[in-house]
Structure 1
Amino acid sequence: MSTLLNKLHGWYQENHRKLPWRDIDDPYRIWLSEVILQQTRIDQGTSYYLRFVDHYPTVSDLAAAPLDEVLKLWEGLGYYSRARNLHRAAQIIVQELGGTFPTDYKSVRALPGIGDYTAGAVLSFAYDQPYPAVDGNVLRVLSRLYASEEPIDTTQGKKYYTALAKQLVEKAPHPGLHNQAMIELGALICTPQLCDCSRCPVRSDCPSADSPERAGLPRKALKLSVQPRHLGYLFVLKRTSDHWQTILYQRPTGDIWAKLYQPTLLYDQPVAPQEELLLQPLPEP
Structure 2
Amino acid sequence: MTAVAEKLRAATALLETVSGTPRLDAELLLAHVLGLTRSDLLLRQRDLGVPASFDGLVERRLSGEPVAYITGIRDFWTISLRVTPDVLIPRPDSETLIEAAVAHFAERPPRAVLDLGTGSGALLLAALDQWPQARGLGIDISPGALGVARENAARLALSNRADFRIGDWADGVNGPFDLILINPPYIARNAPLSGDVLHEPQGALFAGAEGLDDYRRIALQLPRLLSDGGMAAVEIGHDQRDSVSALFADRGLAVEARRDLAGHDRCLAVTPPAAD
If the length of structure 2 is used for normalisation, what is the TM-score? 0.21
Greater fraction strand: 2
Between Structure 1 and Structure 2, whose CA radius of gyration is higher? 1
Greater fraction helix: 1
